[in-house]
């Protein structure tokens, strides 16, 4: 499915591209997306471990990847540490989006096919970033919203008891 979508993107971007070259672009951009998703999740894993949170591992599946982190009881959770490991993935996706776009611009003079591949991979990282920041669980945006909500409730409870 991923490869078919990327092939469609390649064809829409450059309809004159021969089919064999379009397939090569789609396969390479798809591979870059898989690597990007892995780096996104690896950033979560590294930051969670740095925060001392128990990490069960990194799981890859057909629809992406996820890091298994025991967040503990909501009342006892370090919300700052949780927010840092949650935001680490989108930060990597942001860097990959911008970095791949810069590489695509740099490659344009040398190879239009390479530039197209990197440009599509960049656009897919932007899509990954936007999707992950949607404020619904279990996406990163939803997890950040939960951290903010818990922090607000703690602050309100502390102000009420003072």
Where in the chain are the domains? 2-161
pTM of the full predicted structure? 0.85
Name residue, tokens 């950033």: 43
Count Cα neighbours of 95 within 13 Å in the Cβ-side half-sphere.
11
Q: Are 114 and 153 in contact (CB under 8 A)?
A: no
Q: What pLDDT shows up at residue 77?
A: 66
* Catalytic-labelled residue, pool 16, 41, 76, 137: 41
Query: What contacts 46, CB < 8 A, 6 or more positions away?
Result: 88
Q: Which residues lie below 8 Å from residue 115, measured CB to CB, with a gap of 6+? A: 104, 105, 107, 108
Tens-digit pLDDT profile for residues 2-60: 677 788 888 888 899 998 999 999 999 999 998 999 999 999 999 988 988 878 777 77
Answer positive or negative: Cα dihedral of 48, 54, 58, 63.
negative
pLDDT band at 101 (very low <50, low <70, confident <90, very high): very high
Contacts of 147 (CB under 8 A, 6+ apart): 79, 82, 83, 86
User: Is 41 an active-site residue?
Assistant: yes
């Amino acid at each position: 499915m991923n490869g078919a979508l990327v092939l469609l993107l390649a064809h829409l971007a450059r309809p004159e591209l021969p089919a064999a070259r379009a397939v090569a672009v789609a396969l390479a951009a798809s591979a870059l997306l898989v690597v990007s998703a892995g780096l996104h999740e690896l950033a979560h894993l590294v930051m969670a471990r740095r925060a001392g949170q128990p990490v069960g591992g990194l799981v890859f599946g057909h629809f992406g990847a996820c890091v298994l982190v025991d967040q503990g009881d909501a009342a006892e959770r370090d919300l700052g540490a949780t927010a840092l490991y949650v935001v680490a993935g989108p930060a990597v996706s942001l860097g990959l989006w911008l970095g791949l776009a810069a590489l695509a611009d740099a490659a344009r003079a040398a190879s239009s096919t390479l530039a197209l591949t990197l440009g599509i991979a960049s656009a897919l990282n932007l899509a990954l970033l936007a999707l992950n920041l949607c404020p619904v669980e279990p996406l990163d945006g939803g997890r950040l919203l939960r951290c903010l909500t818990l922090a607000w409730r703690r602050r309100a409870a502390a102000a009420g008891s003072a």
